[in-house]
Structure 1
Amino acid sequence: MANRRRWNIGVLLLLIIFGYVLVQFYLSTERIRGLVTPLEASEVDHTKLQIALISQELDNPFWRSVEQGALEAATKFEMELQYMGPFRINAVEQMKLLEKAIASKMDAIILQGIGSEQDKLLIEKANTLGIPVITVDTDEPGSKRLAYVGTNNTYAGQEMGRLLAGGQDNPSGVIGVLIGSQEAANQRLRLEGFKSVIKAYPGLSIADVRSSNISRLQAAQQAEQMLKEHPEITYMAGFSSLDGIGMAEAVARIKPAGVEIYAFDDLEDTLTAIHNKQIKSSIVQQPSQMGYEAMSLLNDYFHGHTVTPEQYTPISVITGKEMTAP
């Protein structure tokens, strides 16, 4: 009797495991199908030009702001915008979405440059099919994109270096740096610009450069590890939007009031940290303007006007002086 009971329980467990695997297989199949099949067009107004905006990460606040600017322009120019992106940063999925947009014969595509040969080949394919591509936030140099709209990332990195040096003739200190991703071209350009300024000051040195994977949690973890391994750090600089908050959390735990933090972008938590003097200053981009200007360039292109290959959107700096009480 006991053996039969164990046998029944074993069979039941196997059935449960089989059912779980079957469900996961079905969900994975549906997800892949959603990436590689043409866009659904049941609610699309085909009398308007169809523009695909492919983001780096679907619900990232920066990219939602790009979307808002693009939607504003789409309304003005009577175009139809379709916004898409991976749930988490994933270059492979971004390229699948680009393939999907091309297969769907979109009238134009706006996307972040990924910096891979496959991305360039896909942009060339779109160009061959008469689909203009505009890169935003990160360019894809050497590709057949129509134009780039976004921050001059090298200049932004240089500006971060000048901020940290603080206008002093001989600043001194040790710096810990976070970048969003080692693979992202915009992050590499910001870092290169930053280093080009820092090397002009013999008293300043960079102790470590780490990647946060554009995650607040990982930014905090990497910053904390840097502070433990390099207690001499007196400055920290972060080049993606969640780095500043993560660094502030780490500094509060490991070295309160002992590190000046320089951040990127103007997320609400970043602004609060500047107001509370946890972050010294932040370089602010204009993602909404990027989306709007990209759509404006497409409107010019479709009306036969010449399009400027590079259109840099402005940056600004927020410090405690600009902050007022909430």
Structure 2
Amino acid sequence: MKSLKIFALAALASVAIYSGVQAQDSYKFAVVPKAMNNPFFDLTRDGCVAEAAKLGNVECIYLGPVEHEPATQAQIIDDLITQGVDGLAISVSDIAAASTVIDKAAAAGIAVITFDSDAPDSKRTAYVGTNNKDFGKALGEELLKLKPEGGTYGLISGGAAAPNLAERVDGVREALAGSKWTEVSGSPTFSNDDIALAVQQASDLKTANPDIGAIVPVGGWPLFAPDGWKNFVEPLKADVDSKKLALVAADTLPVELQLLKDGYVHVLVGQRPYEMGEVAIQTLLKIKKGETVDNIIYTGLDRVTTENVDSLLK
């Protein structure tokens, strides 16, 4: 039976250690998210926990900044190197900051992969997660299906230096290139994964552009605060219901699926964060055992509308 320990790190981060059976050939693998207050990464943690328990000889350490702080993330990774973990799976907040400590870890003989957000020019062995350019394209494609007549749109992003989010923004723009859609000035906004700020930015986009035809968060942040998102949408509900204002958003956490079912967003394009946690642990174990792993391991996407939302909610 796995045990659970939770403690604080320098008041800047929290850590949870999930242990399988301790044995001579046991391994300590750390999963480092961009921010521990982002519920998306809770699912990655859960996948890591489940896989560690299944394997029995793996300890899953889940540790990252409380909030989106690239410098803090880099310091935490450096601390984990000093502690001598066997492997690291990192969602990269900032390529430059993360690459330095990734290369340091690799030089120390620690297995290193990235998940969710990559640093492809670093010495990481593999990337596990979403094809982020395709993710952005899917968001743009769903907007085109919803409103082929076009209009103006605004994007909400997270960290300005996050490579995965930049790829998503590029993907949306690529999908909409040549269409009748045009991007408003000041887009994308950058919420730094701050949920409340992302909701405010949706409101700001509408206020600055009263006739805006679509708002597209490339991450689920504003919808992670369902009451705040409803407060934003409710005065605009007639426009949303008529699709005068299209709402196409990233991720498919349960709270987002319920918002879709209740009519507060039209389409969701989701990643598979739980699978990222599972596959990250599997991949690190293969590396430590000397097995060959693919350089890129994609975990897939899900497109959700009113037609299939009930099946995902189950």
Query: Above 0.5 in TM-score?
Result: yes
Q: What SS does the aligned partner of 1:272 have?
A: helix
Picking from 125, 128, 150, the partner of 1:172 is 150
Residue equivalent to 1:251: 233
Q: Note the residue ranges of structure 1 that are not aligned, 5 or more in a row.
A: 1-29
Distance 1:84 1:199, change over 3 A: same
Q: Note the residue ranges of structure 2 that are not aligned, 5 or more in a row.
A: 1-7
Distance 1:109 1:102, change over 3 A: same
Are 1:297 and 2:283 counterparts? Answer: yes
- 1:1-326 correspondence to structure 2 within 5 Å: 32=10, 45=22, 47=24, 48-77=26-55, 78-166=57-145, 171-201=149-179, 203-207=180-184, 208-244=187-223, 249-254=231-236, 256-257=238-239, 258-324=244-310
**2: CA distance, partners of 1:117 / 1:215:** 22
**2: CA distance, partners of 1:167 / 1:278:** 15
- How far 1:133 moved relative to its partner? 0.5
What is the one-letter code of the residue matched to 2:108?
L
Distance 1:110 1:31, change over 3 A: closer
Identity %: 25
**2: CA distance, partners of 1:248 / 1:73:** 36
**1: CA distance, partners of 2:61 / 2:23:** 12
Distance 1:324 1:114, change over 3 A: closer
| Contact preservation (8 Å) 1:50, 1:106 | yes
| Contact preservation (8 Å) 2:111, 2:288 | no
**2: CA distance, partners of 1:100 / 1:226:** 40
What is the one-letter code of the residue matched to 2:205?
M
Distance 1:231 1:108, change over 3 A: same
Structure 1 length normalisation: TM-score? 0.82
Q: What SS does the aligned partner of 2:255 have?
A: helix
What is the one-letter code of the residue matched to 1:250?
F
Structure number, greater radius of gyration = 1
Aligned residues: 292
- How far 1:306 moved relative to its partner? 0.8
| Contact preservation (8 Å) 2:99, 2:122 | yes
**2: CA distance, partners of 1:278 / 1:263:** 11
Q: What SS does the aligned partner of 1:233 have?
A: coil
Q: What SS does the aligned partner of 1:85 have?
A: strand
- The Cα RMSD (Å) is 2.7
Q: Which has the higher strand share?
A: 2
